Amino acid sequence: MIRIRTLIAVGLVAVLCALTGLIMLRLSEDIRSTESATNLAVVNGELSTEVESEVGQALKQILSFDPANPEATQDAAESVLTGKAAEQYETLLGDLEERAAGQELTLTANIAVIGVRRLSATTADLLVFLDQSSVREADDSSSVSAAQLQVSALKRDGKWLISTITVI
């Protein structure tokens, strides 16, 4: 009689342990599939550094302008922009070239802070704080302005391309 009760108790404990294990397994799957768990910006410092470096350098190139060499800015834009960002930039660059040529305006962009908000193997969302200084040759005046940008990038053929730029 005692032996049967012991076997029943051991059996119940085994069933409870198995159920607990299944519940924990299901909960761990839920945790691994959350947005923060799939965000590589949280767990992959090397990839975060790579996208910050490439996008930061690209922004410096496309947001700097020398009226003596406007082709450099245009060439940079063609190599680092895609989609909506490329379309927006064409409009911006046309306006800038008109103003800069007449005023001999030189623009230099410097990244103050850049950080990855969301990252996967092929997409990234970044927040960028930059300073853009301008020098007008005609009257030797200068100014500095700050900008905050939300930038999205896509990785194609091993290179990060900027797909959207939003001023915030």
Q: What is the pLDDT of residues 88-105, one digit of tens each?
A: 888 777 676 676 667 778
Q: What is the pLDDT of residues 111-168, one digit of tens each?
A: 999 999 999 999 999 999 999 898 887 787 888 889 899 999 999 999 999 999 988 8
Q: What is the DSSP letter of 1?
A: -
pLDDT for the residue numbered 41 = 81
Task: Tell whether the model's pLDDT for residue 9 goes beyond 80.
Answer: no
pLDDT for the residue numbered 33 = 58
Task: Tell whether the model's pLDDT for residue 5 goes beyond 80.
Answer: no
Euclidean distance between CA atoms 109 and 115, whole angstroms = 17
CA distances from 27 to 18, 22, 31, 92, 162 (A): 14, 9, 6, 49, 37
159: Cβ contacts below 8 Å, ≥ 6 apart: 54
| Residue at token pair 């053929």 | 157
Does residue 93 or residue 52 have the better pLDDT? 52
pLDDT for the residue numbered 30 = 62
Task: Tell whether the model's pLDDT for residue 44 goes beyond 90.
Answer: no
Residues 125 and 151 sit within 8 Å (Cβ to Cβ): yes
Residues 36 and 42 sit within 8 Å (Cβ to Cβ): yes
pLDDT for the residue numbered 37 = 65
